[in-house]
Amino acid sequence: MDKQTAGLAFGFLTRIVPLAAAEMRRLRARASRIEDPAVRREALASMRHKDFHVHGGCILATFLGDVAARHYVRLVAAYETAVDYLDNLCDRLGAEAEDDFRALHEALLDAVTPGAPLRDYFRHRDHHDSGYLAGLVRESQQAFAALPALEQARESILDVTARYAELQALKHLAPGEREVRCEAAFASVAPDLRWWEGAAACGSTLPTFALAFAASSADCTPARVAALHEAYFPYVSGLHILLDYFIDQVEDREHRELNFVACYPDESEARFGIVRIAKTAIARAARLDDAERHIFALRAMCGYYCTRPAALRSPLRLTAEDVLRAVGIDWSMQGARTSMMRPLLDLYARLAKA
């Protein structure tokens, strides 16, 4: 890791992560007041186990001024917390009912649409959450509405949100049915992506946050939005979710959850597929006018996932090393553990909980 990248990483950790951690404490306090104990458990568990999604989603705030950064962090925290909460509700609480999943994920479409009336997202459930999800939707609407160039990015944000909601409606269905439905829905996302790779591409919130980052500047143009959309979807987004599933394979097997990395025929095919997508993702990011910002975010994401304890174990370690090299981090795993990245990861662990 060069000194410039290390400096950016240090700035992200010391300036942005504490803001995100403070937002999570605020939202956690709200979740703790949910009356239904089962729903409260899942709301709190989604924060406890997935708060790094919020921290990582905020990384582009590194390049914003203080006021804009605080607003951006608040947007990411509210929206991503809703995303992770809904994922837990679908995975852990309730039946495998498509109508229910679609109703719940209407919340995300409303969240990115300022002024949209809120709906009864729990209408197919006996459980309710004391208005917790509705509060996250309203807060997201306010944050998106305050983006100076939201109108330029609105359609692209709705596109990636609709794709995400469609994936969530299908991937939580019963084993067997979910694979058939996902293959039918996502086989044509891109000509060079297999159905599970296309599905993975639809499961990331990174395109949403990249578009919100662009819309944070009043001089954002339609061309800028189109370039970002093309850069992030489907390859950066696909890489994000494949890496997330890459480190969760054991847990997902235990819970019988659909894991897109497990859809590859074998470990060798998985390594080849993920690395191929990583190479395309970094090439797409490099075309952007402010490529250095998005390459930094992409490498930080890969560095985080590929140095998690699960990724350091054989045979996953070989794939992790190849992904790091594919995005321009030319270390052996042993080198990564003793380089500047180790202190940065240790610092993150402290600040994320501060």
Listed ranges 117-121, 308-312, 344-348; the one with the highest mean pLDDT: 117-121
Q: Can you tell me whether residue 327 is helix, strand or coil?
A: coil
How do residues 243-294 score in pLDDT, each as one tens digit?
999 998 888 788 788 999 999 999 999 999 999 999 999 999 999 999 999 9
For residue 353, what pLDDT band results from cuts at 50, 70 and 90?
low
Say which range, 84-98, 201-215, 315-329, 335-349, has the weakest mean pLDDT. 335-349
pLDDT at 309: 86
pLDDT at 278: 98
Residue 338 has pLDDT above 50, yes or no: no
Q: Stretch 78-105: mean pLDDT, rounded?
A: 93
| Domain containing residue 136: CATH number | 1.10.600
CB of 131 closer than 8 Å to CB of 120:
no
How do residues 141-183 score in pLDDT, each as one tens digit?
999 999 999 999 999 999 999 999 999 999 999 999 999 999 9
How do residues 16-73 score in pLDDT, each as one tens digit?
999 999 999 999 999 999 999 999 999 999 999 999 999 999 999 999 999 999 999 9
pLDDT at 348: 66
State which amino acid sits at residue 69: A
The percent of residues above 70 in pLDDT, for the chain, comes to 93
SS3 of 149-214: CHHHHHHHHHHHHHHHHHHHHHHCCCCCHHHHHHHHHHCCCCCCCCHHHHHHHCCCCHHHHHHHHH
How do residues 114-145 score in pLDDT, each as one tens digit?
999 999 999 999 889 999 999 999 999 999 99
Q: Stretch 184-196: mean pLDDT, rounded?
A: 98
Q: Stretch 96-115: mean pLDDT, rounded?
A: 96
**Euclidean distance between CA atoms 78 and 54, whole angstroms:** 9
| Total domains present in the chain | 1
pTM: 0.94
The phi, psi pair for 174, rounded to 5°, reads -65, 145
Residue 335 has pLDDT above 70, yes or no: no
Q: How far is CA 226 from CA 101, 189, 197, 216, 291, in A?
A: 30, 17, 22, 15, 15
Q: How many residues does the chain have?
A: 354
Residue 345 has pLDDT above 80, yes or no: no
pLDDT at 344: 66
Q: Stretch 319-335: mean pLDDT, rounded?
A: 81
Which domain does 256 fall in, by range? Answer: 3-352
pLDDT at 74: 98
pLDDT at 354: 53
